[in-house]
């Protein structure tokens, strides 16, 4: 599905992804992926540290998205008239 979609992302865009997205290119965007373990070999220490770093960052993002989904106000259509108010609701939900 993602292969057929067209994404226009700038060069300053950095995306965190898991190993399921290996081989995906999104224009000029930088895609940060974990390192795979070589077959029948140990993963080098610097690759382990990189994977740990990515996992820690991704957990923060995943938890923020889960918190947003638990609040019903952001699941339903927000009928607040001012964009500032809608942005404030999302900001509160992400904390």
pLDDT (tens place) for every residue of the chain, 95 residues total: 555 666 677 778 877 777 777 777 777 778 888 888 888 899 889 999 999 999 998 888 888 878 777 776 666 776 767 777 777 777 777 76
Q: What is the largest CA-CA distance in the chain?
A: 59
Q: Same structural domain for residues 45 and 82?
A: yes
Q: Same structural domain for residues 87 and 64?
A: yes
The first and second tokens of residue 68, run together, are 């947003």
pTM confidence score: 0.61
The first and second tokens of residue 37, run together, are 């373990």
The first and second tokens of residue 78, run together, are 């927000």
Q: Same structural domain for residues 20 and 41?
A: no
Q: Same structural domain for residues 17 and 53?
A: no
Q: Which domain holds residue 11?
A: 1-33
Q: Same structural domain for residues 3 and 21?
A: yes
Q: Please give the tally of structural domains in the chain.
A: 2
């Amino acid at each position: 599905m993602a292969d057929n979609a067209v994404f226009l992302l700038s060069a300053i865009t950095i995306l965190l992804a898991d190993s399921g997205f290996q081989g995906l290119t999104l224009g000029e965007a930088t895609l940060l992926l974990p390192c795979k373990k070589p077959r029948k070999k140990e993963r080098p220490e610097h690759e382990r540290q990189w994977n740990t770093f990515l996992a820690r960052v991704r957990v923060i993002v995943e938890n923020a998205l889960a918190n947003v989904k638990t609040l019903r106000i952001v699941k339903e259509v927000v009928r607040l008239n001012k964009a500032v108010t809608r942005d404030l609701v999302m900001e509160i939900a992400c904390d």
